[in-house]
Amino acid sequence: MQTAEISRRYIDFFAERGHTVVPSASLVSDDPTLLFTVAGMVPFVPYLTGVVPAPYPRAVDVQKCIRTNDIEEVGKTARHGTFFQMLGNWSFGDYFKEGAITYAWDLLTRSEADGGLGFAERDLWVTVYETDDEAAALWKRIAGLPDERIQRMGKADNYWHTGQPGPGGPCSEIYVDRGPQYGRDGGPIVDDNRFTEIWNLVFMQELITEVRSKEDFRVVGPLPQKNIDTGMGLERVAFLKQGLDNMYETDQVRPVLDRASELSGRRYGADHDDDVRMRIIADHVRSSLMLMSDGVRPSNEGRGYILRRLLRRSIRSMRLLGVDGPSFAELFAASRDAMQSGYPEVATEFPRLSQIAIAEEETFLNTLSAGTTILDLAVAKTKQAGSPQLAGDTAFLLHDTYGFPIDLTLEMAEEAGLEVDRPAFDSLMSDQRARAKADAKSKKQTLADLSAYSPFRSLGETVFTGYTDLVTDSSVLGILVDGHAVPAAVAGQTAEIILGATSLYAESGGQMPDKGRIVGDGFVLDVLDVQKPVPGLISHTVKVVSGEVGVGVPARSEVDADYRRGATQAHSGTHLVHAALRQVLGPDAHQAGSLNRAGYLRLDFGWNKALSGDTRSEIEEIANNAIRDNLEVVTREMPLDEAKALGAMALFGEKYGDVVRVVDIGGPWSRELCAGTHVSTSAEVGMINLIGESSVGATSRRVESLVGIEAFRQFAAERALVNELTSNLKTRPDQLVDRVGELVANLKAAEKKIQAYEAKALSERVPTLADRAGRVGAYLLVAEHVGTLASGDELRSLATAVRGRLGDAASVVALTAEVSGRPVAIVATSPAARDAGANAGALAKQMASTLGGGGGGKPDLAQGGGSDLGAIPAALDAVRVELGR
């Protein structure tokens, strides 16, 4: 049974039983404490906690998930994968334990001919929470399971939560006995390899907090209603129904594994280590493809870092299979073909996704090359010092700074006959993780407990009136101070204010929040921030300027009209620039992020090379022509599918509901899904002035622009500068470029003449310095201070010229000079002097130490410097003393 067929049967079974079919949420979680959607329940947490009323009593879905906490186990076990799909059926205050158990047993044991999954009843075992007598009794009554096939376990195994404060509850897990060839008999409590978990029925009934571990947390109390959250691992069911030993050989994963085998020439099944590497590649390539399809891009932090790690582990595994060159083009194509039946977007967006992957591969292959060079030098120095062990801090530097995998460092060090100080490396890694964990924990603690918003959200959604009104009368529904509800806030306090309706825009879609204030009878509040902490609720962070504000009192939200005008100009300007980019560069130049505030816009887009000056000018001109043409801006609300059928662009990483807002500028010329505020006609944008274009990654560029009055002010400032230059240079504006070019050419010619004069003056000093050579021990020594020079290079040239003047003698030339107010020393030695024991590097280091600095170099030529000009005579004497020993 193919993976897609299992998914279809699951959805159909529950849809026929009154469950609303819900599409998968993005892998990028809305939960600020999570990087990714790590479990099927994550998108439903607001409904499970009761913070947001559920729009349906029961639901069914197939949720995409990413989990990397067990990444080191990928490829080694039958069921560990970083990307997985969770089949779930949900009840929000509807059915509970009896219904969940009845549905699960029916679907699992119903014959394939009747639309079920066809598992044999004799092969199914279950576990329940150690004190859950009710669940155990239901399994006996509904499924007829004997006591020995109902096993009880503690919190570590049979209590479910996300690892964060929120909903939780006891659970009942269903296992399949794979047979004696996979391990010992006795059920999952004895061997969870032979007995493989496929489905977890979670009885969500409690709100937990202070989560310290899987087993250590505090139960706050019961949830407002009892809910059902189930999760059945699609990949696990697939490998069981396809008669396989592991998830890596299923129909959605095996094609990548096979392609890795073909590219490497290694046969899958011939060598355990190679098999693990091919499984890692198959898993990580699929996970990376799915992450990128949801808008994640490789970077050095957050989600992007996880993606980068997956990609680099894939490259590393290919290298260990003997493939040193690029392979992503073929590996990702194989994953696309395997996944597109379930996720059509990976095919339609594949040109963009593959471009990102291939660019990251190219970058890391270069990193591996650079890291190898650094490692080779470290190995050479370690051997030279006679040590059998490469320092742990060197391995950490390679890993942390250059992205060089530790296992590659271990392998290459072993090839050179060295070990790596692994305890030191692990200690440094542990310190880094502790710092990161502490930082993440501190950030999480600053977030309000979302349950605090539940009473306000239960009153309905906050009405946003700001599309049409800048002033709105409403009332204060709630006040939060330090995350806790309070009856009032007084002058000087910072608080969160929840209104029934507001004209103030909450930050979203790249548009920064409105500025403004909230006023009422006897109080004035300055608005510091406006956010949506939970779906449908708008919260205003305010500073109480005067008076006292209380719950239930009338309040008026007032938007700063000048700021809003600038913000709408910037947001509409972003749409214009985006349309112009796509017109000039093509559809691959897709927006990947933006920031809009009054007078300024920033837009990131997919592209892999810098824009020429002519291209930037063309984009700017197209955007400003659209402003000149005074295109009509129309906003409409419609179903998402209808909007996409009209060609409205959805931006990657953004999340949309069933009904979306479509913003047209000039009809289809620019048509995007957008909840931001916009001008009425394009002429109101005023002006676009592109001020910058830069790289933000291997496959992303960024343009920045001033908008409206800020764009005009920039042009006015540049005009004033041009006027000043033309006045000073006594030329016309149209001749300014030629005049400046002429001055630059004259300056370069003058500098060249000066350099020639200085070089001649230096060469004329060579004979005099050589004539001052004196015998010190076995050496002919020139030790002189030559005064002030323009650069250390001039001093170096002078020293080597004097050394040449002295011929074949055993000569040492030690010169000092003042360069930019600091002492510099150069030592040059002849071959005969080096044969006699003189070492320029050692002498320069000694001089630099006397000068209060550092230095060194090769035995024939070395340089040093310091900060103490008064120590120059002592530094020259140090050379005389050393050579006279």
* CA end-to-end distance (rounded Å), the chain: 88
Smallest CA-to-CA distance from 348 within 575, 56, 649 is with: 649
- What is the structure's pLDDT at 447? 36
Q: Using pLDDT thresholds of 50, 70 and 90, give the confidence band for residue 446.
A: very low
In the structure encoding, which two tokens stand for residue 441, read together?
């924990």
Q: What is the mean pLDDT of residues 181-203?
A: 91
Tell me which of 155-169, 555-569, 588-602, 858-872 is least confident: 155-169
Would you call 336 helix, strand, or coil by DSSP? helix
Asked if 847 and 814 count as a contact pair (C-beta separation under 8 A), the reply is yes
CA atoms of 488 and 66, how far apart (whole Å): 42
In the structure encoding, which two tokens stand for residue 333, read together?
């194509």
- What is the structure's pLDDT at 97? 95
CA atoms of 762 and 798, how far apart (whole Å): 7
Tell me which of 264-278, 391-405, 713-727 is least confident: 391-405
- Asked whether residue 304 carries a pLDDT value surpassing 90, the answer given is no
Q: What is the mean pLDDT of residues 486-493?
A: 94
- What is the structure's pLDDT at 164? 76
**Strands 484-486 vs 488-490: parallel, antiparallel or unpaired:** unpaired
- What is the structure's pLDDT at 48? 85
Any known ligand binding at 785?
no
- Asked whether residue 834 carries a pLDDT value surpassing 80, the answer given is yes
User: Which residue shows structure tokens 């109080």?
Assistant: 523
Asked if 138 and 201 count as a contact pair (C-beta separation under 8 A), the reply is no
Give how far the C-alpha of residue 407 lies from the chain's centroid of Cα atoms, to the nearest Å: 23
The number of helix segments (H) and strand segments (E) in the chain equals 25, 34
- What is the structure's pLDDT at 651? 64
Count of other CB atoms within 10 angstroms of residue 209: 14
Q: Using pLDDT thresholds of 50, 70 and 90, give the confidence band for residue 436.
A: low
Alpha helices in 391-458 (DSSP H): 392-402, 406-415, 422-445, 454-457
- What is the structure's pLDDT at 754? 84
Q: Please, what is the angle between helix 328-339 and helix 302-320, to 10°?
A: 110
- Asked whether residue 401 carries a pLDDT value surpassing 70, the answer given is no
Asked if 221 and 207 count as a contact pair (C-beta separation under 8 A), the reply is yes
Structural domains of the chain ordered from first start: 3-249 (3.30.930.10), 450-559 (2.40.30.130), 564-716 (3.30.980.10), 756-883 (3.10.310.40)
Smallest CA-to-CA distance from 7 within 18, 25, 23 is with: 23
Alpha helices in 705-822 (DSSP H): 709-729, 736-771, 792-805
Q: What is the mean pLDDT of residues 379-403?
A: 82
Tell me which of 142-156, 212-226, 392-406, 819-833 is least confident: 392-406
Q: What is the mean pLDDT of residues 233-242?
A: 94
Q: What is the mean pLDDT of residues 21-29?
A: 90
Any known ligand binding at 678?
yes
Tell me which of 94-103, 240-249, 384-393, 832-841 is least confident: 384-393
- What is the structure's pLDDT at 298? 86
The full DSSP string for 123-186 is GEEEEEETT-HHHHHHHHHHH---GGGEEEE-HHHHEE--SSSEEEEEEEEEEEE--GGGS-SS
- Asked whether residue 449 carries a pLDDT value surpassing 70, the answer given is no
Average pLDDT taken over every residue of the chain = 89
Tell me which of 477-481, 685-689, 761-765 is least confident: 761-765
Give the Å distances, CA to CA, from 420 to 387, 389, 436.
Answer: 11, 5, 25
Q: Percent of the chain beyond pLDDT 70?
A: 96
- What is the structure's pLDDT at 71? 82
- Asked whether residue 584 carries a pLDDT value surpassing 80, the answer given is yes
- Asked whether residue 190 carries a pLDDT value surpassing 50, the answer given is yes
- Tell me 112's DSSP state: G
- What is the structure's pLDDT at 655? 62
The full DSSP string for 491-521 is TT-EEEEEESEE-SPPSBTTBPPPPEEEEET
In the structure encoding, which two tokens stand for residue 568, read together?
């709408």
Instruction: Work out the widest C-alpha separation in the chain, in whole angstroms.
Output: 111
Q: Percent of the chain beyond pLDDT 90?
A: 63
**Strands 811-819 vs 195-209: parallel, antiparallel or unpaired:** unpaired
Give 857's strand partners.
862
Q: What is the mean pLDDT of residues 474-485?
A: 92
CA atoms of 755 and 758, how far apart (whole Å): 5
Any known ligand binding at 674?
yes
pLDDT digits (tens, 9 = 90+) for 69-128: 878 888 887 778 899 999 999 999 999 999 999 999 999 999 999 999 999 999 999 999
Positive or negative, the CA dihedral 89, 92, 96, 97 is positive
- Asked whether residue 439 carries a pLDDT value surpassing 70, the answer given is no
pLDDT digits (tens, 9 = 90+) for 309-363: 899 889 989 988 999 899 999 999 999 999 998 899 899 889 889 988 998 898 8
- What is the structure's pLDDT at 440? 44
- What is the structure's pLDDT at 441? 45
Q: In residues, how long is the chain?
A: 885
- Side-chain half-sphere CA neighbours of 117 within 13 A: 34
Smallest CA-to-CA distance from 588 within 359, 352, 292 is with: 352
- What is the structure's pLDDT at 549? 95
- Asked whether residue 653 carries a pLDDT value surpassing 60, the answer given is no
In the structure encoding, which two tokens stand for residue 611, read together?
């824009």
Q: What is the mean pLDDT of residues 752-769?
A: 85
- Asked whether residue 845 carries a pLDDT value surpassing 50, the answer given is yes
Any known ligand binding at 161?
no
